[in-house]
Amino acid sequence: MMILSGDPPRSRALTLVLVVIILALAATPFLFPGAKALNVAAKICVFAALVASYDLLLGYTGSVSFAHTMFYGIGSYAIAIALYGMGPNWAAVATGIVVGLPLAALLALAIGLFSLRVAAIFFAMITLAVASAFQVLASQLSWLTGGEDGRSFQLPELLRPGTVLVSKSLFGFEINGRILTFYLVFAVSALMILALLRVVNSPFGRVLQAIRENRFRAEALGFRTVFHLTYANCLAALVAAGAGVLNALWLRYAGPDTSLSFSIMLDILLMVVIGGMGTIYGAIIGATIFILAQNYLQSLMGVASKAASEAGLPLLPGLLHPDRWLLWLGLLFIASVYFFPTGVVGRLRNGGGDKSADASH
């Protein structure tokens, strides 16, 4: 209980799903051979942390930010530029973290102080404008960021796939630097999610929820709402930048498409809403569903699209084309905002056998 900050999943079904996801992720290097499975698992870890940090903003304070990928991108680029410029050593990794995380927090502070004072709707619009400007800036400053091509870099010796730590003859598995990197990503993501769980269950988190429910009343009770919102914004930015660091370390690359584009922002929104806003656990489930769909639904759709075009149906081949998978997730997104705004987690909590969750209805 301590480790979950006194906020357990509160549903047998949800607990089961979470345990299965976490065990499957932890055992991926041994259970599912092949680079693709490991990539998918690492991406789920990174996005679970990223989406959880977004949930702190969207689910717990009720403010919609469109600048979350900007912080994610800052983390990615900080590591990439440091390792690219200083060579593959641990000092570069440290430099990237020491520069990237505070930079993200500072920018979040500036945006927060500037736009959180006014109506929530301004915050959404201003973050969107700032994020798009940052994206253009990153692709134009090509001497620093590599422009549209991004930056590829080498990892420190220990984390390279070529480094064999435990040879195959010992356990029947080869444990190399790649697998070590995976567990690094897994562990840091888990730590960040647990830290967020701690934040939302602290008195500070309660104030955030009070602001979400009724900002005016929270202010009347004597809480400095701007301070709380800005603080939450900075925390979320820090975790997002941390997730960006992990993403860059895993991909050995940072570029506009993988870490800055607006479509990632939409992906995050989809994940948090499908998983369940204001639960943190929803982030894990949303990220898992979304990334599995992204990687495996597409091939399924390819088959369906081919079948439809062979059957001579109009329109369907285009709609079922693998590149159009976002269309279906978009529809799912709208349906889930409309029909079950609490997402998968809310459904499981209310549908599962736990009585205490039903009492609140």
Question: DSSP assignment, residue 1?
Answer: -
Q: In this complex, which beta carbon is closest to another protein, that of residue 223 or of residue 333? A: 333
- The reply on whether position 214 binds another protein by CB under 8 A is no
Residue 253 bridge partners (DSSP): 152
DSSP class per residue in 165-202: EE-HHHHSS-EEHHHHHHHHHHHHHHHHHHHHHHHHTS
Q: In this complex, which beta carbon is closest to another protein, that of residue 87 or of residue 341? A: 341
Stretch that binds another protein, among 79-87, 118-126, 172-180, 294-302 (CB under 8 A): 118-126
Q: How far is the CB of 134 from another protein (least distance, A)?
A: 8
Stretch that binds another protein, among 25-33, 97-105, 131-139, 292-300 (CB under 8 A): 131-139
Q: How far is the CB of 65 from another protein (least distance, A)?
A: 11
The two tokens of residue 91 are 């000092």
Q: In this complex, which beta carbon is closest to another protein, that of residue 19 or of residue 331? A: 331
Dihedral sign, CA of 214, 215, 218, 219?
negative
Q: In this complex, which beta carbon is closest to another protein, that of residue 16 or of residue 136? A: 136
The 32-61 contact track toward another protein, x by CB under 8 A, reads: --------------------------x---
The span from the CA of 195 to the CA of 243, in Å, is: 13
Determine which residue in the list 23, 98, 106, 137 makes contact with another protein, applying CB under 8 A: 137
For the chain, report the end-to-end CA distance as a whole number of angstroms.
25
Q: How many helices (H) and strands (E) does the chain have?
A: 19, 4
Q: How far is the CB of 270 from another protein (least distance, A)?
A: 8
Q: In this complex, which beta carbon is closest to another protein, that of residue 70 or of residue 93? A: 70
Neighbours of 13 (CB within 10 A): 15
Pick from 61, 107, 343, 8: which is nearest to 212 by CA?
A: 61
Find the helix packing angle between 90-115 and 225-251, rounded to 10°.
150
The span from the CA of 186 to the CA of 282, in Å, is: 17
Determine which residue in the list 13, 64, 180, 304 makes contact with another protein, applying CB under 8 A: 64
- The reply on whether position 103 binds another protein by CB under 8 A is no
Q: How far is the CB of 245 from another protein (least distance, A)?
A: 25
Determine which residue in the list 40, 57, 79, 130 makes contact with another protein, applying CB under 8 A: 130
Tell me the helix, strand and coil percentages in the chain, rounded to 5. Answer: 75, 0, 20
Q: In this complex, which beta carbon is closest to another protein, that of residue 101 or of residue 126? A: 126
Q: How far is the CB of 262 from another protein (least distance, A)?
A: 6
Pick from 287, 255, 293: which is nearest to 272 by CA?
A: 287
Determine which residue in the list 21, 99, 109, 120 makes contact with another protein, applying CB under 8 A: 120
The span from the CA of 217 to the CA of 229, in Å, is: 15
Give residue for tokens 């081919």: 306
Q: How far is the CB of 281 from another protein (least distance, A)?
A: 19
- The reply on whether position 148 binds another protein by CB under 8 A is no
246 to 285, contacts with another protein by CB under 8 A? 262, 266, 269-270, 273
Kindly report the CA angle at 260 between 80 and 125, in degrees rounded to 5? 145
Determine which residue in the list 326, 340, 347, 350 makes contact with another protein, applying CB under 8 A: 326
Stretch that binds another protein, among 36-44, 93-101, 326-334, 344-352 (CB under 8 A): 326-334
Q: In this complex, which beta carbon is closest to another protein, that of residue 126 or of residue 193? A: 126
Q: How far is the CB of 197 from another protein (least distance, A)?
A: 22
Q: How far is the CB of 129 from another protein (least distance, A)?
A: 5
Residues 6+ apart with CB under 8 A from 169: none
